[in-house]
Amino acid sequence: MNRPGLKSPHAPHFTAALKPPALPDPGTYPGVRSPSRKRLLRTHPAVPMNLLLDSNTVVWFLEGAPELSETAAGLIEKEDSRSLVSSVTSWELAVKTGLGRLRIPYGLGEEFNSTIESIGLELLPLSPAALARTTRLPRHHRDPFDRLLAAEALEQSASLISPNEIFDSYGVKRVW
């Protein structure tokens, strides 16, 4: 695990996709000097990635469940990523637990927030801008939690870590 304080049973598996660009073969373009690796790194700096985790992703990450993809686990654990858990997710988990549709082995409310922060994830409060954005989203389905998460991902310029393909129809960059 790369990020200090991040504790997950998943090993980072996503490093290959984030390696610096390979140097071109010197014989590819005769007479053209190949750029140095240092110059390539300077012109392609690592950009911190904002990640917004949906409810399933949060639950599977906390439980170390096999349903969590290796790509998702690797991104969440990556040192230079900013992994966000929305207050909407806390609300959704509380509602589904209250309805008996979900059982989770940890508490909700402050205990949930403490658990999230203790493993190096960042809590994201729901912003008025995200609420307003939900009114401008197309009505692909009626789940208010998904609509709010899509709006938050767009407002935060975040990639949404989710297996749920419905987010693709909102123009959200989804990773799984």
Q: Which pLDDT band holds residue 13 (cuts at 50, 70, 90)?
A: very low
Q: SS3 for 99? A: coil
Pick the CATH number of 48-175 from 3.40.50.1010, 3.40.50.1360, 1.20.1250.20, 3.20.20.70: 3.40.50.1010
> Rounded mean pLDDT of the chain?
79
Instruction: Of 72-76, 97-101, 164-168, give the lowest mean pLDDT range.
Output: 97-101
Domain parsing of the chain, residue ranges: 48-175
- Is the Cα dihedral 57, 76, 104, 117 positive or negative? negative
Query: What tokens appear for 142 in the block?
Result: 């009626």
**pLDDT computed for residue 14 by the predictor:** 40
Q: Which pLDDT band holds residue 55 (cuts at 50, 70, 90)?
A: very high
Alpha helices in the chain (DSSP H): 37-43, 55-63, 70-77, 87-98, 110-118, 128-134, 144-156
Beta bridge partners of 161: 53, 175
